[in-house]
Amino acid sequence: MNRDNINILLKGMWIGGTMTVPGVSGGSMAMIMGVYDRLISSVSSFFKEPAESMAFLLKFVLGAGMGMVLFSRFISYLFTTRADVPLRFFFLGAVAGGVPMIYREAGVKKLDLGRLPTLS
């Protein structure tokens, strides 16, 4: 197994594991880990390039499934210990820290709060 395959598998494991945490988005983690674009392009070009798309998706899904199984019990356990608050802040920081990168990837130059919808 080459380095790229191991990298995809490990990123899939991390994303799958963090998806078991309430409030943590798999899409946000995929953006932070740098696989979101490749994941979307593999799904959207599945019928155009089936072999290449299937190879990537199988590695990623295998890793995500392993991550969910391996990390879910461990993370659930940590939420019942004294590590509860630091763990919540770690995941909050990981998601919040990824927001500027998501804006950069989307090409947003300036955030205009006046254009946000209001709840009236």
1-42 per-position pLDDT tens digit: 799 999 999 999 999 988 887 777 788 888 888 898 899 999
42: helix, coil or strand?
helix
Phi/psi class of residue 49: alpha, beta or left (left: φ > 0; alpha: ψ in -120 to 50)? beta
Q: What is the pTM of this model?
A: 0.69
Q: 75: which 2 tokens?
A: 């993370």
Q: Confirm if 25 and 18 have CB atoms less than 8 A apart.
A: no
Q: How far apart are CA 116 and CA 110, in angstroms?
A: 13
Q: How far apart are CA 65 and CA 9, in angstroms?
A: 10
